[in-house]
Amino acid sequence: MQEGGHDSGPKQGCLESDALLIEKLETMDASDDHENAPSAKKSGKTSLLDSGEDFEVLDEEDIDDDLPPLEDAGGGDGDKAENGEKKNADEESEASEQLDEWLDVLGNDQLKKKVLEAGKGRGSRPQKGQNVEVNLKTSLMDGTLVEEQHNLSFTLGDGDITQALDLTVQLMEMGEKALIHTDAKYAYGARGSLEPEVPPNTPLSLEVELLEASDAPDVELMLPSQRIALAIRKRERGNVHYQRADYAFAVNSYSIALQITDSNSKVDISPEEEEELLDVKVKCLNNMAASQLKLDHYDAALKSCVSALAHQPDNIKALFRMGKVLALQGEYTEAIQTLRKALKLEPSNKTIHAELSKLVKKHSEQRGAEQAMYKKMLGNPTSSSGKQKSRAKSSWGLSWKWLFGATAVAIGGVALSVVIAARN
């Protein structure tokens, strides 16, 4: 006799005890059976596994990775090997599907990515803020080579390169080679580029290989010369965005440069280096104000100008832009005073001359319009006072006429009396 997969042949005493146990179980009432059933289930996993109950199959994402492996279940190694083979097969099929498919990155069919050679898995994807290194080959859609760059490095998400490259590299795995098709909107836009030479409104094809990704260095631990160079690089990138009329991206680059200049330094810095950092900061604030003006963000632009003037009160660019902001906000008196201060510092500046003349003219026109409005609101007091004056004049003229007539009559009467008296 075999039971539970073990050989038969137990001792007679064991058989007798088993028979007694069966007899005892048969005589127990239903309530005892219900009470003992849960404890039997808790007492060991073997009885539960050997039962004929159905088990719910869990999804992989519902399984806790920290669960210990099952013991004494049988066939464990074979199951693991089979699962591993299935997993590898799934990964291979997924990779083959990715190789054959285009990924619509933004969902508008204007920026697409296709894997040419698979990388080291999703866990190797670079993170925003890391420094990455790539090989880049840029071509026109007809295959004409525009530019080929090896070991190109940039900070991911800082806008150091085109939007197309900045967005798609974040989706690449380490060692992956990908083909990217981008609309001009996410490349060099309506203005094109002189270096590299790209005509306006030109879609591009990019072949990219992700080589390396590393965390950006701690700015506070950088040498002052490195901080200055990095801040200048970010500012210059902002200037590129400004020239392409990408004013929001320009503001972003200037903001990053300002964060670098404002960071505390944990290394020694000389007064000359501090002055150089301050000069970079003021330039960034001025350029940011110009970009914010283009975006009609007047309050933000005014704040940037005030910050620049706090460091350099006689900065002509900051004064000029502050005057423009105040004028756009309708503060003509303050704007004229600010522009006059800038003109006093640089009398030969024709741009300030023209802006000030235009502003003074506009201010006088506004004052004239305000005076006309006030007259209309008060019922035109000038015309009513004129009528009153004319009425007064006419009444005085009438009185003088009566007085002159009465005098003439009196004189005539006296003369007549004298003549009559002389004849008598």
The DSSP annotation for 98-163 comes to: HHH-EEESSSSSSEEEEEEE--S-GGG---TT-EEEEEEEEEETTS-EEEEEEEEEEETTTTSS-H
pLDDT value of residue 365:
75
Contact 244, 191 (CB under 8 A): yes
pLDDT in tens, 307-336: 999 999 999 999 999 999 999 999 999 999
- Of the candidates 286, 271, 165, the one whose C-alpha atom is nearest the C-alpha of residue 235 is 286
Tell whether the model's pLDDT for residue 57 goes beyond 50.
Answer: no
pLDDT in tens, 284-310: 999 999 999 999 999 999 999 999 999
Query: Counting beta carbons within 10 angstroms of the beta carbon of residue 175, is it exposed (0 to 12), middle (13 to 18) or buried (19 or more)?
Result: middle
Percent of the chain with pLDDT over 90: 58
pLDDT value of residue 116:
95
pLDDT in tens, 254-273: 999 999 999 988 899 999 99
Identify the residue whose tokens are 């800038």. Answer: 342
Instruction: Write out the DSSP string of 221-246.
Output: GS-HHHHHHHHHHHHHHHHHHHHTT-
Query: Counting beta carbons within 10 angstroms of the beta carbon of residue 232, is it exposed (0 to 12), middle (13 to 18) or buried (19 or more)?
Result: middle
Going by pLDDT thresholds of 50, 70 and 90, the confidence category of residue 5 is very low
Q: What is the largest CA-CA distance in the chain?
A: 197
Question: Lowest mean pLDDT: which of 8-17, 136-145, 320-329?
Answer: 8-17
Q: Are strands 204-214 and 145-155 parallel, antiparallel or unpaired?
A: unpaired
Mean per-residue pLDDT for 174-199? Answer: 94
pLDDT value of residue 379:
62
Its pTM stands at 0.64
Name the β-bridge partners of 182.
Answer: 111, 204
